[in-house]
Structure 1
Amino acid sequence: PGARCAWIEVMNKNKDPNFSAFIDSILASKMLEVCATTLPQISIPRVFGSPKYPEHLKTRAAIFEKRANQAYDIFSKVPGLICHRPQGAFYMSVVFEDGVFHPGQKLQAANPQLREYVDALCQNVPGDKQFVYNLLASKGICIVPLTGFATDLCGFRVTMLNTDDTVRNTLFQEIADSVTEFLNS
C-alpha cells in the first residue's frame, strides 16, 4: 500500500523527441489499466532493492514533510476547519467543523451557466460537496469531498504532489480563502 499513485513527474520531456515519445507511450499504456500496471510490478522490486533507495526515500520523506507542514500551516488557521498535520501521506484531509453549513452558501461562479449548473448539483447534497462544486465553478480548483469516501465527515482532501512550491501554496491559500468566503456567505 502506498507504493502506487496516479502521478508522474517528467523533467525535460520536450528536449529530446525520442524521450518525449517514450514518455508518451508510458502514459498511453498506463491509461489502459485501472489498477497497478505490469511495468511498475516488474520494476518496483529492483527500485526498492537498489542501494540508493534508502537515501532516496529519506529525501522524498523530507520533501513531503515540508509540504505537509506548509499545508497544515495554511489550513489550521482557517476558522471552521479541523486538520491534523499529515504524517507520511501525499494528501491531507481537512474536516469542516459541525454546524458551519447553512442554506444559501455560495462562491461567485465564473459565469451564469456555471452558477445554474452548480445550484442544481447542490440540491440535497452534503455541505462539503456544495463547497467543492462551488470552488470548481468559482476558481477552477478541483478538490475531493470527504463524503465521497463513504464517511459522514464533511471536508475535503488535497494532494501535496505538485512539485512547484509557489503554485502549490498559492492553491492551498486560495482554497483556504474560499472556505472563509463560502462559510461567511
Structure 2
Amino acid sequence: MQLANRVKTLTPSSTLAITAKAKKLKEEGHDVIALGAGEPDFNTPRYIIEAAKKAMENGMTKYTPSGGIVKLREAICAKLANDNDLHYTPDEIIVTTGAKHALYTLFQVLLNPGDEVIVPAPYWVSYPEQVKLAGGHPVIVKADEKNSFKLTPDELEAAITDKTKAIIINSPSNPTGMVYDKEELKALAEVCLKHNILIVSDEIYEKLIYTNDKHTSVAQLSNQLKKQTIVINGVSKSHAMTGWRIGYAAGDKEIIKAMTNMASHSTSNPTSIAQFAALAAYDSPEDPITEMKKAFKERLDTLYDLIVDIPGVTCEKPKGAFYLFPNVEQAVKNNGFEHVDEWVTALLEEEKVALVPGSGFGSNGNVRLSYANSIDLLTEAAKRINRFVINHQ
C-alpha cells in the first residue's frame, strides 16, 4: 500500500532510537546506563496520584470538553497569572494530550503548504517534523555554540522571508539547557513584531532553572507580544508527570478555538483522570518540585565536572532543563571515528552507555546526556565514557 507523502519525509526520533537499542541490550542482560531519557526519574508526587484515584472513585471517567475541564483551565489561568504575570481567560486556554500535542495541533491549524517556521538549532527533535506534517517548511537557523546556542536578532532577521509565519523559542532549552534572559528575548521579540511573526514559546522546562535567573516568558514583555505569542507548557517535567500526557497552549482566542475544534476530531479530549491529576498539581504547594529541582542541581554539578575532564570534550554549563550538550568533535577525531553517530554507537556497544547523538537535534558535533538519573549511575557513566575515549586514543 502506498503511504501518504506527508510521512515519507519524517526523520525517526534519534532519542527513541537510542533508547530502544539500550533497552534491547538491557533485556539481553547487559549493564546499560541510559542517559537518553527526556523525563524526570522521580515518580509523580503522591498527592497527585491520590487525586487521580479520587477522581476515578467519584466517576470522573467520562468524556470531557475537548479543550479540557473548566476547573483545570481556570487553574492554568491562575498559574500563569501567579508565576508569569500573564492574564488569560479559560477560553484562551486549551488542555492537550501533552505539550507535544499542543505543538502538533497548533501547527496543524496555523500552517498552509509552504509556510515557513524558523527553528533555531539545536532544536528538540519533533519541531521540524511537526512543521513538515502540517505542510510547512522548517527553516533551520544554526545558533552559535560560542553564543550559548542562542539565536541573535541579526540571525533571526536574516532568516525571515515573505513566507515566514512563526518562530519557535524554547527556553530553558532541550537539548542544550540554555536559558534566554529578558533582554535577549526583548531583542528577538522586536524583530518578530517588526515582521508580524507569531512566537511559539515552549516553556515546558520553566520550573527547572538552577541559577538565580528567573524564567521569563516572551509573552509577558508587553501586551502586544502577549497577543502575538502562543505559550506552550504542561505538567510533564515540572511535576514528573510525563506519562499522564497533560499539556496546554495559551494565547489568541481564535487560534485556541481552532485548536479545540481540531482536537474534537482527533483526541476528543485529554484523559479525564489525568486532567484531575493535573488540577491537583496546579492547586497544591510546589514542595515536590523544589525537592526535584534540588536533586537535579546536585546531579548537574557532579556530572558537569566529570564530563569536562574527559579529553577532547568541551561543554558550557547549562542553566536549566536536565541535559548536558557537550561538544565531542575533538574526542571523536582523536578516537578515529568519522562522525559522532558512529562514536555514540561504539560507546553503547563497548561501554554500555547510551547517549543521544546531536545530529537529531541539528548539531552534528554534540551529544545529549540526560542527568535524570542517580548520582552513582551518572558518575559510573562518566567513568565509562572517559575510559572509552582514552582506550581509543
What range describes the TM-score normalised by the shorter chain of this pair? Answer: 0.5 to 0.7
Return the alpha-carbon distance in structure 2 between the equivalents of residues 93 and 133 of structure 1. 17
Query: Which has the larger displacement, 74-83 or 168-177?
Result: 168-177
Q: Does residue 1:105 correspond to 2:336, yes or no?
A: yes
For the structure 1 residues 7 and 72, does the alpha-carbon distance in structure 2 shift closer, same or farther, using more than 3 Å as the test?
A: closer
What per-residue deviation string (whole Å, max 9, x for no partner) do you get for residues 44-100 of structure 1?
23213202x1x3222221111110111111011122111122222212111124585
What per-residue deviation string (whole Å, max 9, x for no partner) do you get for residues 124-160 of structure 1?
xx621111011111122211111121224x1211111
Q: State the match for 2:229 in structure 1.
A: none
Q: 2:370 aligns with which of 159, 170, 174?
A: 159
1:72-83 correspondence runs (5 A): 72-83=304-315
Q: Does residue 1:137 correspond to 2:349, yes or no?
A: yes
Return the alpha-carbon distance in structure 2 between the equivalents of residues 148 and 158 of structure 1. 13
Q: Does residue 1:174 correspond to 2:384, yes or no?
A: yes
Q: State the match for 1:121 in structure 2.
A: none
Q: State the match for 2:280 in structure 1.
A: 46
1:13-24 correspondence runs (5 A): none
Return the alpha-carbon distance in structure 1 between the equivalents of residues 372 and 328 of structure 2. 23
Return the alpha-carbon distance in structure 2 between the equivalents of residues 98 and 105 of structure 1. 10
Return the alpha-carbon distance in structure 2 between the equivalents of residues 6 and 99 of structure 1. 27
User: Larger helix proportion, structure 1 or 2?
Assistant: 1
Alpha-carbon distance, 1:6 to partner? 4.2
Match for 1:64: what amino acid?
F
Q: Does residue 1:150 correspond to 2:150, yes or no?
A: no
Q: Does residue 1:59 correspond to 2:291, yes or no?
A: yes
Number of residue pairs the alignment of both structures matches: 135
For the structure 1 residues 158 and 100, does the alpha-carbon distance in structure 2 shift closer, same or farther, using more than 3 Å as the test?
A: closer
- Per the normalisation by structure 1, the TM-score is 0.60
Match for 1:87: what amino acid?
K
Return the alpha-carbon distance in structure 2 between the equivalents of residues 78 and 141 of structure 1. 15
Return the alpha-carbon distance in structure 2 between the equivalents of residues 41 and 174 of structure 1. 42
Return the alpha-carbon distance in structure 2 between the equivalents of residues 181 and 40 of structure 1. 48
- Per the normalisation by structure 2, the TM-score is 0.30
For the structure 1 residues 72 and 99, does the alpha-carbon distance in structure 2 shift closer, same or farther, using more than 3 Å as the test?
A: closer
Return the alpha-carbon distance in structure 2 between the equivalents of residues 133 and 82 of structure 1. 20
SS at the partner of 1:158?
A: strand
Match for 1:46: what amino acid?
A
Match for 2:387: what amino acid?
D
For the structure 1 residues 86 and 173, does the alpha-carbon distance in structure 2 shift closer, same or farther, using more than 3 Å as the test?
A: farther
User: Larger strand proportion, structure 1 or 2?
Assistant: 2
Alpha-carbon distance, 1:10 to partner? 5.1
Return the alpha-carbon distance in structure 1 between the equivalents of residues 293 and 324 of structure 2. 15
State the structure with bigger RCO (CA 8 A, min sep 6), 1 or 2. Answer: 2
Return the alpha-carbon distance in structure 2 between the equivalents of residues 74 and 98 of structure 1. 17
Q: 1:70 aligns with which of 265, 290, 302?
A: 302
Match for 2:370: what amino acid?
T
For the structure 1 residues 42 and 131, does the alpha-carbon distance in structure 2 shift closer, same or farther, using more than 3 Å as the test?
A: farther
* Root-mean-square deviation (Å): 3.0
Q: Is residue 344–residue 354 contact of structure 2 (8 Å, CA) maintained in 1? A: yes
Return the alpha-carbon distance in structure 1 between the equivalents of residues 293 and 42 of structure 2. 16
Q: Is residue 65–residue 87 contact of structure 1 (8 Å, CA) maintained in 2? A: no
Return the alpha-carbon distance in structure 1 between the equivalents of residues 350 and 279 of structure 2. 44
